[in-house]
Amino acid sequence: MRRIALVVVAAATALTLASCSSPGGSGGSDSGSAEATEVTDLSIIVPAEPGGGWDQTGRAMSETLTSEKLVDSAPVTNIGGAGGTVGLASLANEKDPHTVMVTGLVMVGAVETNAATNRMEDTTPIARLTEEALVVVVPADSKYDTLKDLVDDIVENGQDVTVTGGSAGGADHILAGLLLEEAGLSGSEIAENLNYIPNSGGGEAVNLILGNNAAAGISGIGEFVEHIESGTMKALAVSSAEPAENLPDVPTITDEGYDITLTNWRGILAPTGISDGDRDALIDVVTELHDSGAWTEQLETRGWADAFLAGDEFSTFLDENITEVTTTLKNIGLVE
């Protein structure tokens, strides 16, 4: 079974939390000599326009950090474009060590498809926070009643069938490509048949779907769930291994006959070259965020799964994810 994002087991999470509580642990500095500097104000870059999963993550962080008095202020700045790589370039030039940027699987793919100069490997990984299943939707009055209806139509009619979602090369785009690969198309055939309309914010995709200007849409469940519940969108399948808690009646992609499981992780990066002390301080404050009851409520409300990894564990995961996603993008013809 194809699987892009890793699932965190409880024992690994507990180990991560324990290690992050001590400067000598894997979440702390390598030298252990730098004293952590207190984070009183934290600036949060969201590398996308308002309305999408990254924006929701950044604003949920800001709200929790300030309401729990973990920091005095946590302003959010949206810097959208090119799958987050515009925001990534901004982070590369950032001098304030107490600035973080929301990131995730979408950016891993976008760096490759945009041949971005600035890369995630050049930043300072702080933590992975959440993961979320994707959902394939169509307008409420669509002729498609099942995922197979949609995929078969794309295979037969190619570019006449438009699919919209997040940035090119991101999780949504990858899932569309994997569905066509499962339907029997090769990499070059996928590129020829898939008419994918990328967007820099979740609101743009919603407008295309509700306006019947796209045959289907793919995004994180949190971005479409209110439209599914209101009846303006019809959900065909979710990309998790099991039915989603907030969409219990929607089948999984596996249930629909396609051997695919894909979850979209989101996390936090800091600028390159910050001191060990500043890195430790950021890890500490994000760990406090994760441990708070208010953050647990955010996860439950938004349907996000807890996927916490901090410090070195997150760095290792990120390196592995970049390698895995790059291979997948090549296999389905999205990059050469």
Q: What is the pLDDT of residues 226-276, one digit of tens each?
A: 999 999 999 999 999 999 988 999 999 999 999 999 999 999 999 999 999
> From CA 42, how far away is CA 74, in angstroms rounded?
5
Show pLDDT as tens, one digit a residue, over the chain (336 residues): 545 443 333 333 333 333 443 333 333 334 344 555 799 999 999 999 988 889 999 999 999 999 999 999 999 999 999 889 999 999 999 999 999 999 999 999 999 999 999 999 999 999 999 999 999 999 999 999 999 999 999 999 999 999 999 888 889 999 999 999 999 999 899 999 999 999 876 688 999 999 999 999 999 998 899 999 999 999 999 999 999 988 999 999 999 999 999 999 999 999 999 999 999 999 999 999 999 999 999 999 888 999 999 999 999 999 999 999 999 999 888 898
> From CA 303, how far away is CA 297, in angstroms rounded?
10
The residue segments making up the domain with residue 294 are: 2-132+264-331
In 3D space, the residue among 219, 177, 185 whose CA is nearest the CA of residue 329 turns out to be: 177
Return the CA Rg of the chain.
19
Residues 111 and 227 in one domain: no
Of 222, 237, 261, the position where a domain reaches its end is 261
Residues 87 and 9 in one domain: yes
| Cβ proximity of 46 and 79 under 8 Å | yes
The DSSP annotation for 275-301 comes to -HHHHHHHHHHHHHHHHSHHHHHHHHH
State the CATH number of the domain containing residue 137: 3.40.190.10
Residues 272 and 321 in one domain: yes
Residues 139 and 127 in one domain: no
pLDDT tens digits, residue range 130-154?
999 999 999 999 999 999 999 999 9
Residues 164 and 244 in one domain: yes
Residues 182 and 227 in one domain: yes
Q: Identify the burial level of 269 via C-beta atoms within 10 angstroms of its C-beta, where 0-12 means exposed, 13-18 middle and 19 or more buried.
A: buried
Residues 119 and 205 in one domain: no
pLDDT at 34: 52
> From CA 208, how far away is CA 181, in angstroms rounded?
25
Residues 66 and 213 in one domain: no
pLDDT at 169: 86
> From CA 18, how far away is CA 159, in angstroms rounded?
51
